[in-house]
Amino acid sequence: MTTIEQSAARVAIVTGGSGGIGSAVAHALAADGMSVLVHYSGSAERAEKVVASIQEAGGTAVAIPGDVADETAMTALFDTAEERFGGVDVVVNTAGIMLLAPLAEMDLDAFDRMHRVNVRGTFVVSQLAARRLRPGGALVNFSTSITRLQQPTYGAYAASKGAVEAMTLILARELRGRDVTVNAVAPGPTATPLFTEGKSEQLINQIAAASPLERLGTPEDIARAVTFLAGPGGRWVNGQVLFTNGGLA
């Protein structure tokens, strides 16, 4: 029997858990029987709605605020998980921002802000996960299919996610002997506010039609990929980037 099967009450941290994909991931992990810490950095109201929805469905969840790039705040998040639930088994880094501009026109303050969240934030949380995940645990970071699609205006964003992929693949090798998997999910166009903001309906329909499945992904599509990697079926998947995009790239 594997460690993951022996544990009766697994505990998950979802950064960015109040967002479109993050909330779907939190719901899916709770539906799998995990206690979920729903992290948020902006809207407490949205996070509490996610928690209330999970609890109404019979699950266990709490909302915890914090800056993902602040090691003190994230240490407190892991401390809370251990104090309230006994430990941490799954960490999912959905927290991220996307700021778009041609490389020649990208504002450097915007560049720095995005990399602070997407790169430093992922690094801080991954470092804590590497130190504190229990045997049988899983870390799932978030990249993007844009690293393959290479579309104009996405250069700075793709660069931040390329860094996420690099640290994810290397960390998987560094955790040899720990019985902890480390992978990344790379969504394609997904129907969330982060994706649709600033886009016309015509453009959204055009992007949806480009997929062989002729639709946008849903947050639930992405959440199912995460629960696979976090669950018993994904234990032999390690050090990989799972492109979850309906065949677009």
CATH number at residue 127: 3.40.50.720
Position 2 pLDDT exceeds 80: no
Residue 2 lies in a domain: no
Report the range of poorest mean pLDDT among 57-66, 137-146, 202-211.
Answer: 202-211
CB contact at 8 A, 226 and 242: no
The dihedral sign for the CA sequence 43, 45, 51, 53? negative
Q: Is residue 133 part of a domain?
A: yes
Which parts of 143-236 are beta strand (E)?
181-187
Q: Is residue 1 part of a domain?
A: no
Cβ neighbour number for residue 102 with a 10 Å cutoff: 11
What mean pLDDT do residues 67-88 have? 98
Residue 9's pLDDT is 86
The residue assigned the tokens 């969240």 is: 117
Measured CA to CA, the distance from residue 92 to residue 34 in angstroms comes to 13
Residue type, 54: I
Categorize the per-residue pLDDT at 8 as very low, low, confident or very high, splitting at 50, 70 and 90: low
Asked if residue 145 has pLDDT above 90, the reply is yes
Q: Is the pLDDT of residue 3 over 60?
A: no
- 6 pLDDT band, cuts 50/70/90, is very low
Which helix (H) or strand (E) covers residue 2, if one does? none
Contacts (Cβ under 8 Å, ≥6 apart) of 198: none
Instruction: Kindly indicate the confidence band of residue 43, based on its pLDDT and cuts at 50, 70 and 90.
Output: confident
Tell me whether residue 157 is one of the annotated catalytic residues. yes
Distances (CA, A) of 230 to 23, 104, 136, 159: 16, 39, 9, 26
The answer to whether residue 22 sits within a structural domain is yes
Worst-scoring range by mean pLDDT, 8-22, 124-138, 173-187? Answer: 8-22
Model pLDDT for residues 95-104, shown as the tens digit of each residue: 999 999 999 9
Nearby residues of 189 by Cβ (< 8 Å), 6 or more positions away: 145, 195, 207, 208, 211, 216, 217, 245, 248
% of the chain at pLDDT higher than 70: 97
Q: Which residues contact 201 (CB under 8 A, 6 or more apart)?
A: none
Cα–Cα distance, 178 to 133 (Å, whole number): 9
Whether residue 3 is contained in a domain is answered as no
3-state secondary structure of 112: helix
Tell how strand 88-93 and strand 60-65 pair up: unpaired
In a domain, 4, yes or no: no
Report the pLDDT averaged over residues 206-219: 92
pLDDT higher than 80, residue 4: no
pLDDT at 178 > cutoff 70: yes
Per-residue model confidence (pLDDT) at position 124: 98
Domain count, the chain: 1
C-beta separation of 141 from 118 below 8 A: no
Stretch 125-134: mean pLDDT, rounded? 98
Q: Please determine, for residue 33, whether its predicted confidence score (pLDDT) is greater than 90.
A: yes
Please tell me which residue in 123, 157, 195, 243 is annotated as part of the active site: 157
Checking if the pLDDT of 118 tops 60, the result is: yes
The span from the CA of 223 to the CA of 186, in Å, is 12
pLDDT at residue 197 in the model: 79
Query: Which domain, by its residues, includes 165?
Result: 9-244
Q: Return all residues near 210 (Cβ < 8 A) that are at least 6 apart.
A: 248
Instruction: Determine the pLDDT at residue 193.
Output: 82
